[in-house]
Amino acid sequence: MRDHTKGGALTEVTFYILLSLYSPKHGYAVMQFIENMTNGRLSLGAGTLYGALNALLEKGWIKPCGSSEGRKKEYIITELGREIAKKELTRLKELTNIAGTIVEGGTI
């Protein structure tokens, strides 16, 4: 996973996974959230999703929650994950502000 915590950009998939987990979800619900939010532009396979979830668990950005009974594990974003998501939102706002100025106005 190419995501960085110091000034680097998150991948789009990672950012959507973090956003999806502001409320508890199991893997399939995360895949549905991402597909719905992107109008089908992003559609994750199970291998990609579960690889990403494991990486986010290792980083401490998400954690398991709820009962571990049955096949469906649920996850939720951690406080560290929320900080990372907020930093990414700030970075994206800055990017779109600069891009908007250039594209719509010509120069900065």
The DSSP 8-state label assigned to residue 11 in this structure reads: P
How much is the pLDDT for 70?
Answer: 63
Q: How many domains does the chain have?
A: 1
The phi and psi torsions of 25 (rounded to 5 degrees) equal: -150, 150
So what's the pLDDT on residue 108?
Answer: 63
pLDDT of residue 40: 95
CATH of the domain at 89: 1.10.10.10
Look at residue 8 in the predicted model and tell me its pLDDT. Answer: 78
Which residue range forms the structural domain that includes residue 32? Answer: 12-105
For the segment 27-78, what is each residue's pLDDT rounded down to a tens digit?
Answer: 999 999 999 999 999 999 999 999 999 999 999 999 999 765 667 899 999 9
In a domain, 24, yes or no: yes
pLDDT band at 105 (very low <50, low <70, confident <90, very high): confident
Residue 31 lies in a domain: yes
Query: Quick one: which H or E segment has residue 82?
Result: helix 79-105
Look at residue 75 and tell me if it is in a domain: yes
The answer to whether position 5 is within a domain reads: no
